[in-house]
């Protein structure tokens, strides 16, 4: 999957483009039509009047999908995304209702999935939870779902880990061709094992499709920079924060797209997400990864 990472920091968001208002409205219309998901994908090029666009978005987001999903949508599409924002996206707790059978397009919108032009995934080598060398380049032929959270699981880990667990269970015959790779974001805790909290707490310890990666701070720092992860360390022990990005790497080593994991942060700093929203994000993760299998 490309050459080994150097000290250069390619921007993985290069080539990311916002979908237009007309495309977005057409996507919602296609999502509600009795068509297969590939027909819905093709429908994204349709032209729709502006008035229909506005009311379709409002109706679908706030009547059909619910307040939390609507807030996440506008948080994601209301302004250009930044992969280097040094804070985690947080949502206020709300009651969420979700469609019972969402298709790939509506799931991608919910995830805030953005396409990436022709970027090649910066490759790297770290150690996994079994202390084996793990290289992104060695995953050629597999889809890699690449994301980031802390070894001690005190950030987005409880939410994102649960979504990875559900996504892994949703995979069908292509499960062996998809890898979930989580890079440690904690510069204070770099030693990991199969019993590390980041795997054990969300129930990922026994999943062979999941690798948790760590290494020397200097090496991890190159990975963080290459993928737009900003780490902030506070004055108190264990006080580490970072932004949340999730990438889809194709079997040929290209960055296909990225999404923004999100959750609700409590007054004590613990992240959570209601079950229906968590399930939607997991389904979107699984279906997007499966769509990239060659």
Full-model pTM: 0.68
Q: Is the pLDDT of residue 49 over 80?
A: no
Q: Is the pLDDT of residue 121 over 50?
A: yes
Q: Kindly state the average pLDDT of the residues 160-173.
A: 95
Q: Which residue has the higher pLDDT, 77 or 110?
A: 110
* 268 pLDDT tier (thresholds 50, 70, 90): confident
Which backbone phi and psi does 275 adopt, to 5 degrees?
-60, -40
| 8 A C-beta contact, residue 71 and residue 263 | no
What kind of fold does domain 14-294 have according to CATH?
Glutaredoxin (3.40.30)
DSSP 78: S
| Coil, strand or helix at 182 | strand
> Among the listed ranges 172-186, 230-244, 274-288, which one has the minimum average pLDDT value?
230-244
Give a three-class secondary structure readout of 29-41.
HHHHCCCCHHHHH
Q: What is residue 235's predicted lDDT score, i.e. its pLDDT?
A: 58
Q: Is the pLDDT of residue 272 over 90?
A: yes
Q: What is residue 276's predicted lDDT score, i.e. its pLDDT?
A: 93
Q: Kindly state the average pLDDT of the residues 181-202.
A: 95
């Amino acid at each position: 999957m490309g050459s080994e990472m150097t000290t250069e920091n390619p921007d993985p968001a290069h080539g990311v483009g916002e979908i237009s208002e007309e495309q977005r409205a057409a996507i919602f219309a296609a999502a509600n039509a009795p068509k297969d998901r590939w027909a819905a994908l093709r429908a994204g090029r349709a032209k729709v009047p502006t008035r229909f666009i506005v009311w379709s978005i409002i109706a679908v987001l706030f009547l059909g999908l619910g307040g939390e999903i609507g807030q996440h949508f506008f948080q994601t599409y209301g302004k250009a995304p930044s992969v280097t924002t040094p804070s985690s996206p947080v949502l206020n707790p709300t009651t969420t209702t979700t469609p019972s059978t969402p298709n790939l397009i509506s799931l991608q919108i919910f995830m805030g999935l953005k396409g990436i032009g022709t970027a090649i995934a910066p490759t790297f080598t770290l150690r996994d939870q079994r202390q084996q060398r793990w290289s992104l380049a060695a995953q050629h032929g597999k889809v890699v779902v690449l994301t980031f959270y802390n070894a001690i699981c005190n950030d987005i880990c409880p939410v994102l880990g649960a979504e990875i667990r559900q996504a892994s269970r949703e995979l069908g015959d292509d499960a062996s061709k998809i890898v979930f790779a989580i890079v440690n974001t904690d510069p204070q805790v770099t030693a990991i094992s199969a019993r590390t909290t980041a795997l054990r707490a969300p129930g990922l310890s026994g999943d062979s499709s999941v690798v948790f990666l760590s290494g020397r701070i200097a090496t991890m720092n190159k990975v963080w920079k290459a993928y737009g992860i900003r780490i902030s360390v506070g004055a108190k022990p264990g006080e580490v924060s970072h932004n949340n990005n999730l990438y889809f790497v194709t079997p040929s080593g290209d960055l296909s797209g990225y999404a923004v994991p999100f959750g609700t942060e409590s007054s004590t700093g613990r992240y959570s997400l209601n079950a229906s929203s968590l399930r939607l994000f997991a389904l979107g993760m699984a279906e997007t990864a499966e769509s990239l299998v060659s």
